[in-house]
Amino acid sequence: MTRATLLEKAYGSFSSRSFETMLSLLCKDLKAKVRVQGLVDQRWVQIDVTGEDEAAALKLLDCEIGLAPPSAENIGKSSTIGGKVVNSAKSKAELHVDIAVFEPKNYCAVVPLWRLQAQLVDGVKLQLHRLAELFCLCDYMPVEIKIVKELDYEKGFWEAELSEVQLSRFSGWLNSNLDRLIVLGASRSEIEVAVERARHFRDIIKIETLGPFEHAVVCKLGTEAVGLIPRLGPYLRIANIVPFSARRIKQLVKRPSL
């Protein structure tokens, strides 16, 4: 048996039983059993994996969801790792990203405001809350970062920047010229049901999966994401729904992509 921590937190519509079913379906072609063992520091989901294909199941889970690093010693300069935005409404100078490191104690990564300005809006001096609003960098939003400085044990964090993969995702969103609704705290099936009940399936192209409980609902050209929030919101009450508008970002940054 192997115990591991997934890069997914328990929030929104999460339940151990439904999430365990989701994991079992993901590993259905393997001779392995995945059980939700419980939650660890900051509500990260811990699992137990057993069976003949245990190693293959862990590799698959790492690829599809991500596994937390065993300890701070496994992360160094130039490491890339996924995490979740935390405390987005509290800081004005840096974006905090929880990367599920809690051995020997809890450490996080921070992306300074000046780095975000340089990476996302070509150096335009936007405040952090405005950048967070434009790029949906709110609590629980999954992001991939690259460590640029070694761990500062005294301050308790690594300095980081957004990774090339993360920037490529935002660039793709901008280049598409399509609005997106970022839904945090709901499963894909719950979003599909909400779209069906709200009768707005004709306004939506597809649902992009960012994580088990994080998705981007891609709107058709001409459909504004912000207008769909009051339509879908009643069917996704426990989720946080925020709009991504390529048009608004391009109005601030005079270039077509990141």
Domain-ending residue, one of 162, 182, 205? 162
Tell me: do 175 and 152 sit in the same domain: no
- CATH code, 208: 3.30.70.250
Q: Please give the pLDDT value at position 255.
A: 55
* Separation of alpha carbons 257 and 250, rounded Å: 8
Tell me: do 15 and 37 sit in the same domain: yes
258 within some domain? no
* Separation of alpha carbons 188 and 194, rounded Å: 10
Q: Please give the pLDDT value at position 41.
A: 86
Indicate the number of domains in the chain: 3
Q: Which residues contact 55 (CB under 8 A, 6 or more apart)?
A: none
Domain-ending residue, one of 108, 137, 162? 162
* Separation of alpha carbons 171 and 129, rounded Å: 20
Q: Please give the pLDDT value at position 242.
A: 97
Quickly count: other Cβ atoms within 10 Å of residue 134's Cβ.
20
Q: Please give the pLDDT value at position 6.
A: 96
Tell me: do 8 and 55 sit in the same domain: yes
Tell me: do 119 and 179 sit in the same domain: no
Tell me: do 190 and 134 sit in the same domain: no
The token duo for 41 is 């520091």
* Separation of alpha carbons 215 and 192, rounded Å: 11
Tell me: do 89 and 138 sit in the same domain: yes
Tell me: do 124 and 60 sit in the same domain: no
Tell me: do 96 and 151 sit in the same domain: yes
182 within some domain? yes
257 within some domain? no
- SS3 string of 179-224? CEEEEECCCHHHHHHHHHHHCCHHHEEEEEEEECCEEEEEECCCCC
Residue closest to 210 by CA, chosen among 156, 141, 145, 162: 141
Quickly count: other Cβ atoms within 10 Å of residue 36's Cβ.
20
Q: Please give the pLDDT value at position 91.
A: 87
Tell me: do 102 and 151 sit in the same domain: yes
Task: Please give the span between the terminal C-alpha atoms of the chain, in angstroms, as a whole number.
Answer: 44
Tell me: do 81 and 156 sit in the same domain: yes
237 within some domain? yes
Domain-ending residue, one of 162, 193, 209? 162
Per-residue pLDDT tens listing for the chain (258 residues): 999 999 999 999 999 999 999 999 999 999 999 999 999 988 999 999 999 999 999 999 999 999 999 889 989 999 999 999 999 988 899 999 999 998 888 899 999 999 999 999 999 999 999 999 999 999 999 999 999 999 999 899 999 999 999 999 999 999 999 999 999 999 999 999 999 999 988 999 999 999 999 999 999 999 999 999 999 999 999 999 999 999 999 988 875 455
Q: Please give the pLDDT value at position 103.
A: 80
- CATH code, 153: 2.40.50.140
Q: Please give the pLDDT value at position 143.
A: 98
The token duo for 233 is 């919101």
According to DSSP, the β-strands at 157-162 and 107-112 are parallel
| Residue 102 domain boundaries | 72-162
Tell me: do 196 and 138 sit in the same domain: no
Tell me: do 179 and 241 sit in the same domain: yes
